[in-house]
Copies of this chain bind each other. A is one copy, B any other.
């Protein structure tokens, strides 16, 4: 790569000092009109742009915010990033994305390379590995140093920082409620392992709705799937219950779509024999047949809110107390539950 032109080189060219060049380019009237114009023309010709590293170092500000997400190939996370990007850009910030790939170690490593001057603040959704390990030292370090930090979606309540979460309990509740309203009696729940907080919270909502309707939750109808290769096999077990469920509530779109596929293979009519409902963030729900009723999560909004909280914290270190924003969900009713 060619060497970029610097103030120093321009100064040498004109036999003046660096300060003079800097001022000339900034249209300072300390510099005579004639020299100013010559310098500007020259700089323009060589396409001079101030080196941002130097500026960042001087101003002790990078205008970059870091984002660490578990994976990017996930519609929900992309929408969040989109929201972050849009808001951040508006405010003059750039976004640096890193992936933890759900791994504790990568999360730690990412934080360690990011939080050393490269970024002004950090937005994170906690990796599965970290939740499993239940080790949050790397976040506590940041918090101890008052480093601007916002957690979203996968958060940990013990950490003292701003947070943005989906109303997972509410989502689970209204999903189950809807299934009950259409007359379902035996609702199977497809959820994740317990340490995944969002799955756990959605289950809480489901349980609440059931109790509210005077129904007991039969643990046989709760399937805690692990994200392995054999999702099909794991979900098939739903249909081996003594009394088949008449509705399935899945905590994500994929589980729901697979369940529906299996149900159809086994000859169930949807929604008549069995209703299916998922949480969504992607496009699958719209294109299955029948299209899936689902709890939609507003990822874009979540991203925007996260960026807003972060930038507020960066710019006005003011407010000492931390905010916890809750993004509510919508129930998008499609054919899979219309009966």
Residues of B within 8 A of A147 (CB): 1-2
Using C-beta atoms within 8 Å of the partner chain, give the interface range for chain A: 35 or more
Q: Within residues 37 to 72 of chain A, which ones have a CB less than 8 A from any CB in chain B?
A: 47, 49-54, 56-57, 62, 64, 71-72
Q: Within residues 97 to 125 of chain A, which ones have a CB less than 8 A from any CB in chain B?
A: 97-99, 112-114, 116-118
Segment with Cβ contacts to B, from A74-82, A161-169, A187-195, A205-213? A74-82
The answer to the question of A73 belonging to the interface, with a C-beta cut-off of 8 Å to chain B, is yes
Q: Is there contact, CB below 8 Å, between B75 and A118?
A: no
Q: Which residue of B lies closest to A145 (CB)?
A: B2
The answer to the question of A180 belonging to the interface, with a C-beta cut-off of 8 Å to chain B, is no
The answer to the question of A32 belonging to the interface, with a C-beta cut-off of 8 Å to chain B, is no
Q: How far is the CB of A276 from chain B (nearest CB, A)?
A: 12
Residues of B within 8 A of A57 (CB): 51, 53-54, 57
- State which of B51, B71, B287 has its C-beta within 8 Å of the C-beta of A117: B51
The answer to the question of A231 belonging to the interface, with a C-beta cut-off of 8 Å to chain B, is no
The answer to the question of A175 belonging to the interface, with a C-beta cut-off of 8 Å to chain B, is no
The answer to the question of A29 belonging to the interface, with a C-beta cut-off of 8 Å to chain B, is no
* Contacts A2-B146, A73-B78, A284-B284; A47 near B141 (Cβ below 8 A): yes
Q: How far is the CB of A198 from chain B (nearest CB, A)?
A: 19
The answer to the question of A96 belonging to the interface, with a C-beta cut-off of 8 Å to chain B, is yes
A85 to B51, CA, bound (A): 25
Q: Is there contact, CB below 8 Å, between A116 and B73?
A: no
The answer to the question of A283 belonging to the interface, with a C-beta cut-off of 8 Å to chain B, is yes
Residues of B within 8 A of A257 (CB): 287
- State which of B74, B78, B94, B254 has its C-beta within 8 Å of the C-beta of A98: B94
Residues of B within 8 A of A71 (CB): 82
Residues of B within 8 A of A74 (CB): 78
Q: Which residue of B lies closest to A50 (CB)?
A: B116
* Contacts A51-B116, A117-B53, A254-B283; A148 near B72 (Cβ below 8 A): no
A82 to B72, CA, bound (A): 7
A29 to B50, CA, bound (A): 39
Q: Is there contact, CB below 8 Å, between A118 and B53?
A: yes
- State which of B2, B94, B283, B289 has its C-beta within 8 Å of the C-beta of A96: B94
Residues of B within 8 A of A96 (CB): 64, 94-97
Q: Is there contact, CB below 8 Å, between B54 and A117?
A: yes
Q: Which residue of B lies closest to A284 (CB)?
A: B287
| Contact string against B for A residues 77-91, beta-carbon threshold 8 Å, 1 for contact and 0 otherwise | 011011001100000
Q: Which residue of B lies closest to A121 (CB)?
A: B1
A72 to B49, CA, bound (A): 28
Q: Which residue of B lies closest to A95 (CB)?
A: B97
The answer to the question of A261 belonging to the interface, with a C-beta cut-off of 8 Å to chain B, is yes
A interface residues, Cβ below 8 angstroms from B: 1-2, 4, 47, 49-54, 56-57, 62, 64, 71-75, 78-79, 81-82, 85-86, 94-99, 112-114, 116-118, 141, 145-148, 254, 257, 261, 264, 282-284, 287-289, 317
Additional pairs, 11, CB under 8 Å, beyond known A51-B116, A72-B81: A2-B147, A4-B117, A51-B57, A72-B72, A72-B82, A73-B75, A85-B99, A95-B97, A284-B284, A287-B288, A288-B288
- Sorted nearest first, the 4 A-B pairs with minimum C-beta distance are A51-B117, A257-B287, A53-B117, A97-B97
